[in-house]
Amino acid sequence: MEARQFEIDGSVITDIPAFYAEINRVFMAGESWQLADSLDALNDLLYGGYGTMQGAEKVTLRWKDMAATRAALGPECTHAFLSGRLGQRTMFNGSTIAGQLTALEQGRGTTYFDIVMEVFADHPNIEIVPA
């Protein structure tokens, strides 16, 4: 069976909300609701069953200008994201987040882009092709 083809335009991704707007444009076309700005929601979407993906079908995802997405979701964006979570200590583990912030400041931390790629990697039916 041939893989379904999708394309992300990395040049329009400037921050986390823009990333999810692009994910919604590609994968939620025709739905009456949109995916939230959430890594858990992204992971759920990639299992298929709603939106444009049906189950664990084979998918080829062409990612135009992936370097722009990597930069947009890089250390600065990730630092702002984590700093926002640090202020919500009742919901998130403050010491873990503080350690992640320190790692980013030292140039060795995991970025939001890295985490997004880990989420995609958990779905072997999806092949990402930089374009």
pLDDT in tens, 74-110: 999 999 999 888 777 655 666 788 889 999 999 999 9
Give which of 113, 59, 47 is closest to 81, Cα–Cα.
113
Question: Residue 84's domain spans which residues?
Answer: 75-110
Q: Which residues pair with 4 in a beta bridge?
A: 59
Residues 6 or more apart in contact with residue 2 via CB below 8 angstroms? 58
CA distance 119 to 116: 5
Same domain, residue pair 122 and 103: no
**Model-level pTM?**
0.91
pLDDT band at 70 (very low <50, low <70, confident <90, very high): very high
Same domain, residue pair 65 and 91: no
In 3-state terms the chain splits into helix, strand, coil percentages (rounded to 5) of 50, 15, 40
Residue 121: is it exposed, middle or buried by C-beta count within 10 angstroms (0-12/13-18/19+)?
A: exposed
The residue-averaged pLDDT of 18-37 equals 95
Same domain, residue pair 36 and 11: yes
Q: Report yes or no: 98 and 62 within 8 Å, Cβ to Cβ.
A: no
Q: For the chain, give the mean pLDDT.
A: 92
Residues 6 or more apart in contact with residue 56 via CB below 8 angstroms? 47, 48, 123, 125
Same domain, residue pair 3 and 55: yes
| Number of domains making up the chain | 2
